Amino acid sequence: MEKIKGLIDAPFTPFKANGDINLEPIPAYAAMLAKNGLKGVFINGSSGEGYMLTTEERMTLAEKWIESVPEGFKVIVHVGSCCLRESAKLASHAQSIGAYGTGAMAPPFPKIGRIEELVKYCEAIASAAPLLPFYYYHIPAFNGAFLPMTELLKAVDGRIDNFAGIKYTYESLYEYNQCRLYKGGKYDMLHGQDETILPSLAQGGAQGGIGGTTNYNGRELVGIIDAWKRGDLEAAREKQNFSQDVINVICNYRGNIVGGKRIMKLIGLDLGPNRVPFRNLTDEEELSMKKELEEINFFERCNKF
């Protein structure tokens, strides 16, 4: 099965002022990401407020993204849901419209507490789109599924034929690397933390990744990998440290989903508000965040249209 090389973006979902999804910005959004070196999108995930969308909205967004992306630009559809039947429906739909792959995090409710429960969950979704690679999205901070991923790989090996790998969004670089090394690198381990791309490269991994701050800081994050490949460690370090500076700013403004989405407006693509219960930035907070970003010269280095 193909292993993804380069960075995949986790896009925000554009909303109108009344909270309806807004498809209009997606073609320009897709073109901007490709221009700045991203290799695809992982839609309807946590950055995209996927669990706050209806099934119909998620399908409509998937169709629009696939219609809008340039040739060769991968669209992976997050299909995780608290209703497994809805997940299977979304996965089948993704296959029918020509998505590159599907993915799912463990549901926030009911909490999955055993590997076998997680395998059955993944198995049901992956079997609904058997022609597409399936990625498990490991983000235990969102759903409490603090399970050993090496054990998951052992359990799915030989059982889920289209299990491609894991989007690994967790702090354990040791476990990430152990998963990467499993059976000589059998599975695709997509690095999911923009703040630690460089140390993962040093371990031999991070050939591919899925990020959220790539929405607006993709040029610098792609630049980390490019600098590493050409042996320029100092440039890679500088870009990683700058990327952490950007993350430090958004952490002051309710993180990537809220603060990061507002940054898109500041760089030229207004994607609208977040859905309730997210607390949107006030105008005063937006000005304050803009000032903090200016202090680190963000607007000279951010994604360009």
Q: What gap in Å lies between CA 17 and CA 21, rounded to an integer?
A: 9
Is 260:241 a contact under the CB 8 Å cutoff? no
Is 276:270 a contact under the CB 8 Å cutoff? no
Q: Please identify which of the residues 167, 176, 239, 253 carries the catalytic annotation.
A: 167
Nearest CA-CA partner of 44 in 13, 14, 19: 13
- 137 is annotated as an active-site residue: yes
Nearest CA-CA partner of 75 in 124, 23, 26, 20: 26
Nearest CA-CA partner of 288 in 257, 254, 264, 253: 253
| CB-count burial class (<10 Å; 0-12, 13-18, 19+) for 170 | middle
Is 109:144 a contact under the CB 8 Å cutoff? no
Dmax over CA atoms of the chain, in Å, equals 54
Q: What gap in Å lies between CA 207 and CA 286, rounded to an integer?
A: 35
Q: Please identify which of the residues 29, 100, 135, 137 carries the catalytic annotation.
A: 137
Which residues are tagged catalytic? Answer: 137, 167
